[in-house]
Amino acid sequence: MILEGSVKQSETMRLFIADDHGIVREGLKSLLRRYPEIEVVGEAATGAETIDLARIINPDVVIMDIHMPGLDGIEASRQILRDNPKIRILALAGALSNAALFQGVQAGIKGFMLKESMFSELLEAITAVFRNEEYYCPRIRSQVAGDYKSFLSQGKAVQETLMDLQERELIQLLSEGKSIAQIAEYFRKSPKTIDARRRKVMAKLGFSSIADLTKFAIAQGLTDLKY
């Protein structure tokens, strides 16, 4: 048994899955059903929904997709752990920049996995974070070890530049092609207010186009779009 020695036979690990792709959630649930010591107690497709359900369910471990629409997985993790520091979070991402990794560590995320990893490695990661141990998949370990100075400098840049949660969300939504009207509806603000925020953020960062803003969002791990 893969989890032998990590979860007592009389103990069940209560697991929550947060991912905006239904096929990912269903695939994980199907694979995890083979392990009676793991009980999937809930799922969500957005960061905000994950926060709300985590308050009610109080799972042991949350598998958290880093890049979800609206409130991203890093900020959702930060809020979940503020409410309940006993919850362990394992981040899952298609790609993970050094800056996003830095933010995740600062938020209190215990483990980091890439979606290209094998399921057996995911089980190893789940076990580690359940025991309150840190876990980084081999590619992420190699990434950090090979570019440590960049890891630190990018993380510092994010902290110094993006201190406001709504600024981070605004940049994410703009980089993903959302219109001012759509963003205004999301924030429940007027389009005029959102456009003013857009101009303020772009001036703060020194950008003159959405293309530049999108490249910044990708580099800082605020979205998983590709160049």
The residues with which 17 forms a beta bridge, in sequence order, are 43, 63
Which 8-state DSSP code applies to residue 85? T
Choose among 155, 76, 138: nearest CA to 108: 76
**Fold that domain 13-146 belongs to in CATH:** Rossmann fold (3.40.50)
What CATH code is assigned to 163-219?
A: 1.10.10.10
Report yes or no: 89 and 74 within 8 Å, Cβ to Cβ. Answer: no
Structural domain boundaries in the chain? 13-146, 163-219
pLDDT, mean of residues 2-18: 67
Element (H, E) at 61: strand 61-65
**Residue 177: Cβ within 10 Å count:** 10
> pLDDT band for position 9 (50/70/90)?
very low
Q: State pLDDT tens for residues 146-192.
A: 554 455 455 555 544 554 667 778 888 888 888 898 888 888 889 89
Label the pairing between strands 88-93 and 111-114. parallel
